[in-house]
Amino acid sequence: MNRVWWKEGVVYQIYPRSFYDSNNDGIGDIRGIIQKIDYIKSLGVDIIWLCPVYESPNDDNGYDISDYRNIMGEFGSMDDFDELLTEMKKRGLRLVMDLVANHTSDEHSWFIESKSSVNNPKRDYYIWKDSVNEAEPNNWLSFFSGNAWQYGEETGQYYLHLFTKKQPDLNWENPKVRQEIYDIMKFWLDKGIDGFRMDVISVISKRNYDDSPYPNFNDTIQNIYANGPKIHEYLKEMNQEVMSHYDMMTVGEGPGISLENGLKYVQEDRKELNMVFHFDHMFIDHGSEGKFDILPHDFVHFKRIFADWDTKLKDKGWGSIFLGNHDFPRIVSRFGNDQEYWMQSAKQLATLLNSLRGTTYVYQGDEIGMTNVAFDDIHDYRDVEIFNALEELRSKNGDEDKFLKAVHVQGRDNARTPIQWNSEENAGFSKADPWIKVNPNYTKINVATQESNPDSVLNFYREIIRFRKNNLTMVYGDFEHLLPDHKELFVYKRWDEKETYLIIHNFSSQELAYDLDNQYQKMIGNYQGNLENKYQGSMVLKPWESMILKA
Ligand code: TEU
Ligand code: CA
């Protein structure tokens, strides 16, 4: 196997606003990450994916950038950033930053110029269209509710924003825009960072501006917004201009990336991206009205998605293995059991993340099993996605109680409450009131309590990450899905020329029997003890039990 650092490395995603507040203004910051760098190192991770820290008015918490070459004041200074990078390098940690290139903030100087006049040299940095029949240019909807067009008073045209109206889409048809992005990438790479996670990179090439014929928003994403005609031309150019000059990692985040088109983004010989984040398993319960229109969870489909992507990428590309991030609910609440079997299922998900083929991504707080938070008052939430959806609901006299319940299940703020460091005030995140309330269960779920408990979720993450690093079959080994139609068990084999492993997960609260096809030795599991035991014949799996067996 040709070993590659970004294939073997385990990535730890940091959402800085919620990580640790070093200067007690209630907002996480870069110095906070520096102060916790040894904790991060202690997890055994190799790469940090740092969500945006650039200058931003924070309409979408940093995903609306007003200056790509400066650090957001709330997060600190460029000196702080340089110190973080130095401290990471000292510890052999690599840094992947978030490249938000589909759109900027409307407060970026480019947009301020562009909107000022139809003749401004930067007019074509963005996408401006005339009204049609006195209304928006077409029926496109924003990911964040409402129409995707905003009227520009100064020039009487509309500009496109697939996200909030403060996030105008850049015009990638314009070679000057592409060059600006490449220069920004080189600015950060020349400072010594190791790569980029590319925000909604799948939608940077627009097809045309005809109406969408699809009532289902996911169909509009798939067939109208994503995978446009020049997406691969742009990514090839970006690779030639930038990536090919650095030893770096790229992972493209992509609504609309599918089994049919995913390989085009990551096939090694196409020289585009190293990996993508597809959303097949993340949008699995999104109804036709979007994420707050919740479908029942389909476990067999969930399993099949992992198996199908493994087959599709096998020997040609490379995958990303993630179950959550700052945009989705907490994994133990969404895919596990955050009540009676909280500990077992948090460890089970850690085992799943670390036993599949592809690069493992761990989102901050999942390593201690942080759960969803159900604020009773909608005004305890902060996410623009929630408030835009609420505004749209009110315009249709929708059911606000039903909506709040959907926010409890799917809201992005579930994953954005402050990291729970200890059981002191504000969970040790800050001495000031945090920008968003702490999850009330911080007295039970926090780093300090778990550090001293060898059987904790935290220490299990350390153990399973170490296991993956010491057994590269978990990284590069082949994959075979067993019992694909089983409604509770997720079972698969991983092997290479040296070892064969059987991984069994019982995603249920019942005890279940499983018949072994060989004699196995248990290497790691989420229930105490019995390691190194020999197993053969039928074995009983306890509720939410996970184990890795070696043939
Ligand atoms: O997310 C894009 C994206 O696809 C998510 O918005 C996701 O589809 C949505 O949250 C599910 O409802 C990226 C960033 O990760 C997200 O934080 C930003 O809000 C968004 O782009 C705009 O930059
Ligand atoms: Ca702070």
What's the average model confidence in pLDDT over 294-323?
Answer: 97
CB 201 within 8 A of CB 238: no
Which atom of ligand 1 lies at the shortest distance from residue 162's CA?
Answer: 22
139 has pLDDT over 90: yes
Q: Is 169 in the pocket of ligand 1 (CB under 6 A)?
A: no
What's the mean pLDDT when you consider all of the chain?
A: 97
Identify the residue whose tokens are 């299990």.
Answer: 460
532 has pLDDT over 70: no
Q: Is 225 in the pocket of ligand 1 (CB under 6 A)?
A: no
Q: Is 100 in the pocket of ligand 1 (CB under 6 A)?
A: yes
> The sheet that has 11-14: what strands, in order across it?
275-277, 249-253, 195-198, 94-99, 47-50, 11-14, 359-363, 320-321
Q: Whose CA is nearest to atom 16 of ligand 1?
A: 327
CA distance 386 to 242: 36
Q: C-alpha 304: how far from its chain's center? A: 20
What's the average model confidence in pLDDT over 523-534?
Answer: 82
Interval 463-476: pLDDT, tens: 999 999 999 999 99
Which pLDDT value is given to residue 533? 75
Task: Give the pair of three-digit tokens for residue 116.
Answer: 């000022």
* pLDDT tier at 1, thresholds 50, 70, 90: low
Among the bound ligands, name the one nearest to the CA of residue 293.
1
CA distance 324 to 340: 21
Which pLDDT value is given to residue 32? 99
What's the average model confidence in pLDDT over 229-249?
Answer: 98
Which atom of ligand 1 lies at the shortest distance from residue 326's CA?
Answer: 17
Task: Give the pair of three-digit tokens for residue 424.
Answer: 């002191």
Q: Is 200 in the pocket of ligand 1 (CB under 6 A)?
A: yes
Interval 308-319: pLDDT, tens: 999 999 999 999
Q: Is 64 a catalytic residue?
A: no
Identify the residue whose tokens are 């409402």.
Answer: 146
Cα Rg for the chain, rounded, in angstroms? Answer: 23
CA distance 274 to 276: 7
CB 200 within 8 A of CB 144: no
5 has pLDDT over 90: yes
Interval 395-453: pLDDT, tens: 999 999 999 999 999 999 999 999 999 999 999 999 999 999 999 999 999 999 999 99
Domains present along the chain, CATH in parentheses: 11-97+319-475 (3.20.20.80), 109-160 (3.90.400.10), 174-318 (3.20.20.80), 477-550 (2.60.40.1180)
Q: Would you call 354 helix, strand, or coil by DSSP?
A: coil
> Ligand 1 centre and the CA of 316: distance in Å?
27
Mutate which of 65, 200, 289, 381 for ligand 1? The one with the most ligand atoms within 8 Å of its CB, which is 200
Which pLDDT value is given to residue 530? 66
CA distance 206 to 229: 7
Interval 341-357: pLDDT, tens: 999 999 999 999 999 99
β-pairing, 520-525 vs 546-550, is antiparallel
Q: Whose CA is nearest to atom 8 of ligand 1?
A: 255
Q: Is 21 a catalytic residue?
A: no
CA distance 186 to 171: 20
* pLDDT tier at 51, thresholds 50, 70, 90: very high
Which pLDDT value is given to residue 289? 85
Which pLDDT value is given to residue 518? 95
> Ligand 1 centre and the CA of 148: distance in Å?
15
* pTM tops 0.85: yes
Q: What is the 3-state secondary structure (H, E, C) of 451-498?
A: HCCCCCHHHHHHHHHHHHHHCCHHHHCEEEEECCCCCCEEEEEEECCC
CA distance 403 to 423: 31
What's the average model confidence in pLDDT over 319-344?
Answer: 98
Which pLDDT value is given to residue 510? 98
Which pLDDT value is given to residue 382? 98
Q: Would you call 521 helix, strand, or coil by DSSP?
A: strand
> Ligand 2 centre and the CA of 44: distance in Å?
26
